[in-house]
Amino acid sequence: MRLTIWSATVTACLTLTAMPAWPGEQLTPLMLARQADAAAVVEVRFRAGAPEILVERWLLGGPVQADATWIGVCLPGAALLRDWRGRYPGFRQSQRLWRQALADKGYRSVIVLRQRSEGLRPWCETESLLGEHWLSHPQHEDWQVRFDAGLAQRPAADPTPRRP
């Protein structure tokens, strides 16, 4: 009997450690807009070596020079999109976006930035996988309306700089 309880405990512990970490929060367009230090419409172009990021226009803050360090979960490059295609097959609508971005060698997106010690950095959570902030997403227009409403609800600029 003791061996059975011990076996069950060990099995449960091994199962829990093999499970992926609990995903982060899913931020709404309103949350993103209200907490952003800057936001821009960007074009990501997949190039040999590092992807290229071009800022089309600033929606809040700026101008800041975009660079390849912005590539990551919030603004995925080709390698991450290929990884997501295999890792997240259940994201059917996102799969179409990722596949199209890979075929087109890029995409356009709204990027939200927050001030950190190293400067403005992309900020997102699990909503990034949905791709609603991509201009090619079928529901992007609705997302943009909610995001713009959040920007409009922001209080007037505080003259004191925000700490990272």
In order along its 164 residues, the chain shows pLDDT tens digits of: 454 444 444 333 333 333 333 345 778 888 888 889 999 999 999 988 788 999 999 999 878 888 888 999 999 999 999 999 999 998 888 999 999 999 999 999 999 999 988 888 999 888 889 999 999 999 999 999 999 999 998 876 544 444 44
Q: Give ∠ CA 37-79-99 in degrees, rounded to 5.
A: 95
DSSP 118: T
User: Tell me, what amino acid is at 158?
Assistant: D
Place of tokens 């409009």: 152
